[in-house]
Chain A
Amino acid sequence: MNAWLAEHGLGEATITYKLRDWLFSRQRYWGEPFPVIHLADGSTVLVPESDLPLTLPELEDYKPTGEDFEAPLARVHDWIETTDPATGAPARRDPNTMPQWAGSCWYFLRFLDPHNTEAAWSAEAERYWMPVDLYVGGAEHAVLHLLYARFWHKVFYDLGLVHTKEPFQKLVNQGMILGESFRYYDDNLSDSANATPRLYPADQIRQTEEGPVTTDGRPVKARWLTAREVVIDAASGVAHLPDCPDLTLERVVEKMSKSRGNVVNPDDVVSEFGADSMRLYEMFIGPLEKAAPWSTEGIQGVYRFLQRVWRALIDDADGQEKLRPLAPGSGTPEQARLTSQTIAGVTEDLEAMRFNTAISKLMVYVRDVAKDAAMPLRGAEVLVLLLSPMAPHLAEELWSRLGHRDTLAYEPWPVADKALLVRDEVTIVIQVNGKKRDELVVRADLPSAEIEVLALASERVQAHLAGRTPKKVIVIPGRLVNVVG
């Protein structure tokens, strides 16, 4: 068809892109001025490098003129009117400024060498540090910022200013943290302070184009409460007003906004629970990439965990803080095994950025490690080191109380004893024709052939086979036997 079009002069094969050129001017004051001057003949000349930066002039008034649609800088005549440094001829500066994207298109390169006055960055710093190994941010920048920064980076590549084609090797988008609020309705439409309104739970309300109405059509207004203003029944999780237990409040989880009063201020969290609890909670709330609701009960949970960590090492019963007596070395074989397993598990989780499960493993460790015997020294040190990336303040404090004089920031990461990672026993599911019929607990290193023998010896398997000879037995070591027959 393309050949036919070309032959008849009606068209030709082509490739198109939706992408359009990037509009790079803003009619604003607070941005980077363009390093150009416009000459009387309509041509544009670049400001010499030696004259950079071209700084913003001071404005007396930031208000728009309302008279034309030029940028505020157009009014600053003694700035706008200038001369061509090459010829002395009259010239005009550009009244536009660059968009906010400009600065964020290359900041990751300036970080390499931020005080360099001779160049934007040095070749040495670029060659050593680039590319960015991990870049984390919100998905709202998934298109424009990342595309624009990649574009500039490719231009830098063509100019020989960077040695990689792409700036950000690995990208992770964090999910949004949602706010929690509680809703009911009342018929106090005028917000009168003296009214004794009727209150309605959400299930008696219909939403219409004119707003919410009761089932019999009377208009009502939504009322929003924060978690702190309501009483939540611990057992059922049902929320109600403190003075009105019969009215069940609707729990609404959505983007935090001032209008809902569900915005959580980090300052408040830090002053109430501390930075380590805040950090731990933000990671414990769920997988990093997923949206998750903020909950006050949740942060109390991680706060209690950090208190347990503190008490696991510090005896403060009589008002004095003393390091608890620690057993020497790695403690009992069971403690040594648990310690190694926790190191392996937490390490694997951090490598995969599964912070929530790493924290869970540390919680299990704190619960179990000193259950049957005193906390061993190695167990305590491993706990502190594994916890330190997530709760660094508490970890540094405990590290120093364990007798170390330097920060733990550069301590070697604990290494698991591989010999201890082998599970002693495993539970193996036995299926007959794909359905689970029995389980076997066997030594973890039992050969498949022996597992097969044990599986076929199972009474329940025999019952389900009903005398048939199995056609096939599939053994997945450590997990499963499927008898097909």
Chain B
Amino acid sequence: MAYSPAEIEPRWQQYWLKNATFRSEIDPSRPKYYVLDMFPYPSGDGLHVGHPEGYTATDILARYKRMRGFNVLHPMGWDAFGLPAEQYAIKTGTHPRITTQRNIDNFRRQIQSLGFSYDWSREIDTTTPGYTRWTQWIFRKLHERGLAYQAEVPVNWCPALGTVLANEEVIDGKSEVGSHPVVRVPLVQWMLRITDYAERLLEDLETLDWPEPIKKMQRDWIGRSEGARVRFAVEGRSSTQIEVFTTRPDTLFGSTYLVLAPEHELVDAVTSDAQRTFVRDYVDRAARRGAASGLGSRIPTTSRASGRAGTPSIPPPANRSRSGSPTTCSPATGPARSWPSPATTNAIMHSRDSTACRSEKSSRGATSRRRRSPASADPRTAAFSTDSRPVQQSSA
């Protein structure tokens, strides 16, 4: 007979399962090797060829290391909570547990048909009571340490569907399913204080053997910057201050205006009556855009790094006279103007970089009171103040 995988393969798969060939136990006499796949969400579509690529790579290493004398831990399980099973339940009334179990059985069959050397006695399913018990136990620990707290945070509410949507389910301000409008509404939610660990999450990356691009993505996400918090006074409102963060406090005296995010709490307070309609309209539009694809209106970030693209800007007030501008802010030593701008940071201070305005700087002393004409507003402002970093707080 010629080479016949259809005959050979199921036979050996049975042999491995029956003999628990790949069962692993603690054995201090041998060096250990723990080789792990990112466990799958058992979707109704079953395995696609992308899954076995990683699984084959880890399986080759697992088998190779066993032959090199290592005690190998190579487990598989199911990340089985998730939206598709719930959506299927909404559509058909089938309990997500039933759908999930069916999908797990299918995934297991498919994975076993590829002959991976998993220790199946360690299979886990995140939705079982034996597992969720400990996930809840961990939440207790987080809470006890003050790392879990409740806060009012906006969610994507789709009135037509009558449900809250994850950012990924919202496309251009409409629901992915049915294209219904989505609005942002505040809801009390649980938050985890990952920010307490920002510095350690950053520092310890250095110790890891990870691809450099992934480390960089993590560094960028953590986004550490050194700089200064600066409080600007608002002209004519002695009780109001606008706080900004800048990485370039040395350029403060060159600042010509401040930009407030549309959701900034002071937007209403500093808007002049003349501009109120325009500003309100802009803030509304930004809020709607904010519901779109997780960008825009959200918990503010304070950064100008990372990708910025796409969000259209209100025109810089190039054609508006100074008196028609929304308001004027007066920092300690030099005037700055303020107008609302697209979804940005809490408040970004626009210091102009040296190459762009060397000539202006040379004509402006540190205590200059010169007011910058709106007509010469930097056209890059729009891009500068638009930060399309995906929101991390509320994905699926």
Contacts and interface: CB of A to CB of B under 8 A. Distances in A.
A65 B129 contact: no
A23 B221 contact: no
Given A52-B137, A154-B204, A166-B208, 13 more contacts: A10-B332, A19-B194, A30-B86, A46-B144, A64-B163, A111-B75, A129-B32, A134-B58, A147-B222, A166-B204, A174-B57, A177-B53, A277-B5
Contacts of B28: 128
A100 B396 contact: yes
A396 interface: yes
A421 B250 CA distance: 63
B54 A138 contact: yes
A61 B90 CA distance: 7
Contacts of B190: 23-25, 34, 94, 96
A25 B57 contact: no
Interface stretch (B39-47, B265-273, B279-287, B335-343): B39-47
Contacts of A385: 67
Interface in B286-303: 299, 301-303
Contacts of A408: 67
A247 to B, nearest CB: 29
A4 to B, nearest CB: 9
A11 B243 CA distance: 8
A321 B67 contact: no
Contact of A20 (B12, B141, B207, B299): B299
Interface stretch (A197-205, A238-246, A261-269): A261-269
A310 interface: yes
A11 B77 contact: no
B54 A18 contact: no
Interface string B41-79: 100001111111110111111111011110001010101
Across the A-B interface, the 8 shortest Cβ-Cβ residue pairs: A274-B5, A18-B223, A66-B162, A137-B38, A103-B126, A23-B393, A53-B133, A310-B3
B380 interface: no
A27 B214 contact: no
A287 B13 CA distance: 27
Contact of B6 (A125, A128, A274): A274
Interface string A255-299: 010000001111101110111111100110100110000100000
Contacts of A166: 204, 207-208
Given A34-B190, A138-B50, A170 B210 contact: yes
A392 to B, nearest CB: 5
A24 B192 contact: yes
A212 interface: no
A388 B117 CA distance: 12
Nearest to B298: A20
A173 B211 contact: yes
A16 B5 contact: no
B224 A17 contact: yes
B48 A266 contact: yes
Nearest to B189: A25
Given A14-B228, A282-B56, A136 B38 contact: yes
B175 to A, nearest CB: 12
B21 interface: yes
A64 B162 contact: yes
A339 B132 CA distance: 52
Contact of B150 (A44, A263, A283, A393): A44
Interface stretch (B151-159, B307-315, B352-360, B368-376): B151-159
Interface in A21-54: 21-36, 44, 46-47, 49, 52-54
Nearest to B153: A23
B34 A132 contact: yes
Contacts of B197: 151, 154-155
A62 B129 CA distance: 20
A12 B26 CA distance: 54
Contacts of A396: 12, 15
Nearest to A61: B93
A127 B52 CA distance: 30
Interface string A307-333: 100110010100101000000000000
Nearest to A44: B150
Given A35-B140, A104-B79, A177 B50 contact: yes
A16 B199 CA distance: 10
A256 B47 CA distance: 13
Contacts of B52: 266, 278-279, 282
Contacts of B9: 270, 274-276, 393
B83 A18 contact: no
B389 A18 contact: yes
Interface string A125-144: 10011111111111101111
Contacts of B81: 30-32, 97-98, 100, 102-103
A11 B222 CA distance: 23
A129 B301 contact: no
B349 to A, nearest CB: 10
A411 B278 CA distance: 77
Nearest to B79: A104
Given A11-B231, A278-B52, A267 B113 contact: yes
B19 interface: yes
B377 interface: no
A137 B113 CA distance: 20
B198 interface: yes
B148 interface: yes
A19 B61 CA distance: 35
A103 B96 contact: no
B102 interface: no
Given A100-B79, A276-B5, A409-B21, A283 B60 contact: yes
B2 A316 contact: yes
Contacts of A108: 36
Contacts of B130: 53, 117
Most buried by B among A62, A353, A390: A62
Given A18-B222, A54-B136, A264-B48, A279 B115 contact: yes
Nearest to A258: B45
A155 B249 CA distance: 35
B15 A389 contact: no
Contacts of A456: none
B63 A392 contact: yes
Nearest to A397: B8
Contact of A350 (B36, B37, B61, B124): B61
Interface in A44-80: 44, 46-47, 49, 52-55, 58-59, 61-67, 69, 71
25 contacts: A5-B252, A17-B223, A19-B198, A23-B394, A30-B127, A32-B135, A55-B129, A103-B81, A106-B135, A107-B79, A129-B26, A136-B37, A137-B38, A144-B395, A147-B218, A147-B222, A151-B194, A168-B36, A172-B57, A263-B48, A267-B47, A392-B115, A394-B3, A394-B8, A412-B69
A150 interface: yes
Nearest to A161: B141
Contacts of B163: 27, 64, 66, 69
Interface string A189-224: 000000000000000000000000000000000000
A448 interface: no
A311 B151 CA distance: 68
A408 to B, nearest CB: 8
Contacts of A58: 95
A155 B38 contact: no
A5 B249 contact: yes
Contacts of B11: 397
A380 B47 CA distance: 35
Contacts of B82: 30, 100
Given A54-B136, A276-B5, A69 B67 contact: no
